Amino acid sequence: MSLRPHSRRSTTGDRFAPSAFVTFAVALVAGASAIALVVVYRTGERIISERERAEALAERDLLEEVDQEQGRGTLVLSVARRSRFAAGGERYGLFAPTGAPLAGDIDANRPEFQDADWRLVKVRRPSPAMIHVVSVTLPDGLLLVVGRDLTNLRQFERSILFGFLAALSIVIAAGVAAGLLLNAQILRRVDAIAGTAERIAAGDLSARAPDADRRDPFGRVGASINAMLARIEELMTGMRTVTDSLAHDLRSPLTRMKGALARALHAGVSEEDRLDAIEAAHDEVDRTLNTLSAMLDIARAETGLSVDMMREVDVGALAADVSDFFSPVIEDAEQTLVVEPLSDPIVVRAHEALLRQALGNLLHNASIYAGAGARVEVSVARDEADPRLVRLVVADTGAGVPPDQRGRVQERFVRLDPARSAGGSGLGLAIVAACAKLHGGVLRLEDNHPGLRAVLEIRSGGAG
């Protein structure tokens, strides 16, 4: 009852985190843009200043040549004309040796004008301003000053500032729009995953996160969650199946055990009947313990708890050893056992005890179900395309298993012919399938034409 309101409050609180991220991103973009503005301004200022200095020096040299070639009168007229028609911040001044202005719009001589080479000087007329000046003292004592005010630089500043504000506005608008869109997309994907988690918490183990492209981060998270949920559902379903099956399959032997012990405790029973009853109870206990042991083996294999017991195993030698152990059983069943020899060892990293048990279960099933006169063949081969994949095959020429039952017989407690089960628990092939799963492979039951061909595929090192 309290789960959903709590989850809703958490979801609402989480919605503000992306907005804060958007704000941080916008601030970061604005800060980076401001730094870029300063860099561009400094670079542009240097370029403008160097260009204006070069122009001022060229004009100073030109006017100096006018003085040398055409005399003072022409120089005065030239400076006056240039000052009158000046454009773009040009400033000129020509001063007599006494400091009196002779021509130009710089009408006051200042000490800073002497030997100036692009010096920044403040002038008061015709209006207060800061100008860069270059100067030269002519041979006749006149002081020629050529300057540039900051008009061009101020225009550049205004252009840069306007462009920066316009670009920043566009960037911020686009960033906010992209951030809100990204925020909505993230929240949509997160809400979908959270909704799946809530359904799982409510007991719906079939809930899955929405399918998405695995190249997308949320797609990878969703795929991982779905794989985890599928595994959880599989384990939960298996646990329910095992619980139901154990409750069903253990009831009968425990009931028989109780009846046998009751007979043994009866006062009027003979000593021979008492011993028979105790022996029957003992057999039922053995069968029950074997069933529980098999279930434990399956559980350890399916949950991966047996991975730490893996080591290097020569599968060919193991198959030959298990086949030799079961050869008397095959002979008693009036069958022929053939083990295909190997020229080279096939070594894989595997769980040796579980692999022996799985191969033994296949041989045991063949001895029971293939029937008298059947031929049982055991072979081991490495896959040519994938050297890590090894196949252990037990093939017989018996009656086989109907195609529509080959998947079912690998389930727990399934016995297609209870009359011929010889007291088995129906866990033999389930253990083989669990062994295959632990080793990253599968158990395939195929038609041997005639008979059954059981292929146990294992991968060196297991499922990981």
Residue 211 in domain: no
Contact between 340 and 378 under an 8 Å Cβ cutoff? The reply is yes
CB atoms within 10 A of CB 107: 16
**Structure tokens that stand for 44 in this block:** 């542009």
Dist CA 402 CA 140 (whole Å): 124
Residue 151 in domain: no
Mean local confidence (pLDDT), 429-436: 82
Residue 443 in domain: yes
CATH number at residue 238: 1.10.287
Give me the half-sphere count of Cα atoms (radius 13 Å) on the Cβ side of residue 150. 15
Residue 160 in domain: no
Residue 81 in domain: no
Residue pLDDT, tens place only, 244-301 = 555 655 676 778 888 888 888 888 788 888 888 888 888 878 877 766 766 666 666 6
Residue whose structure tokens are 């100008």 = 131
CB atoms within 10 A of CB 195: 15
Length of the chain: 464
| 430 and 297 inside one domain | no
Mean local confidence (pLDDT), 447-460: 88
Residue pLDDT, tens place only, 126-174 = 678 889 999 999 998 999 999 998 888 888 888 888 888 888 788 778 8
Question: For 70-171, where are the E strands, in sequence order?
Answer: 90-95, 101-104, 117-123, 129-137, 143-149
| 431 and 455 inside one domain | yes
Q: Residue 108 contacts by C-beta under 8 Å, 6 or more apart in sequence? A: 101, 123, 124, 125
| 354 and 292 inside one domain | no
Confidence of residue 4 (pLDDT cuts 50, 70, 90): very low
Tell me the range of 111-120, 148-157, 186-195 where mean pLDDT is highest.
Answer: 111-120
Confidence of residue 394 (pLDDT cuts 50, 70, 90): very high
Dist CA 89 CA 130 (whole Å): 11
Residue 91 in domain: no
Q: Residue 123 contacts by C-beta under 8 Å, 6 or more apart in sequence? A: 91, 106, 108, 110, 129, 130, 131
CA-wise closest residue to 431 among 409, 403, 416 = 409
Q: Residue 215 contacts by C-beta under 8 Å, 6 or more apart in sequence? A: none
- Which residue type sits at 90? E
Confidence of residue 378 (pLDDT cuts 50, 70, 90): very high
Please report which helix (H) or strand (E) contains residue 49, including its range. Answer: helix 16-70
Dist CA 364 CA 330 (whole Å): 8
Contact between 416 and 409 under an 8 Å Cβ cutoff? The reply is yes
| pLDDT score at 282 | 86
| pLDDT score at 157 | 81
| pLDDT score at 123 | 84
| 454 and 312 inside one domain | yes
SS3 state of residue 23: helix
First CA to last CA distance, the chain: 40
Residue pLDDT, tens place only, 328-345 = 999 999 999 999 988 888
Residue 170 in domain: no
Residue 249 in domain: yes
For 451: left if phi > 0, alpha if psi spans -120 to 50, otherwise beta; the answer is left
> Where among 278, 301, 324 does a domain terminate?
301
| 442 and 314 inside one domain | yes
Backbone φ and ψ of 117, nearest 5°: -130, 85
CB atoms within 10 A of CB 338: 12
According to DSSP, the residues that pair with 119 across neighbouring strands are 133
Dist CA 33 CA 23 (whole Å): 15
| 330 and 224 inside one domain | no
| 315 and 383 inside one domain | yes
> Where among 301, 325, 355 does a domain terminate?
301
| 241 and 268 inside one domain | yes
| 259 and 289 inside one domain | yes
Cα 263 versus chain centre, distance: 65
Contact between 25 and 189 under an 8 Å Cβ cutoff? The reply is no
CB atoms within 10 A of CB 64: 17
CATH number at residue 357: 3.30.565.10
| pLDDT score at 395 | 93
> Where among 285, 301, 317 does a domain terminate?
301
CA-wise closest residue to 452 among 390, 403, 380 = 403
Contact between 154 and 20 under an 8 Å Cβ cutoff? The reply is no
Lowest mean pLDDT among 5-19, 139-153, 392-406, 413-427: 5-19
| 317 and 429 inside one domain | yes
**Structure tokens that stand for 192 in this block:** 């979908």
| 418 and 439 inside one domain | yes
Q: How many domains does the chain have?
A: 2
Structural domain harbouring 263: 217-301
| 232 and 374 inside one domain | no
Residue pLDDT, tens place only, 159-168 = 888 888 888 7
Q: Residue 121 contacts by C-beta under 8 Å, 6 or more apart in sequence? A: 110, 112, 113, 130, 131, 132, 133, 147
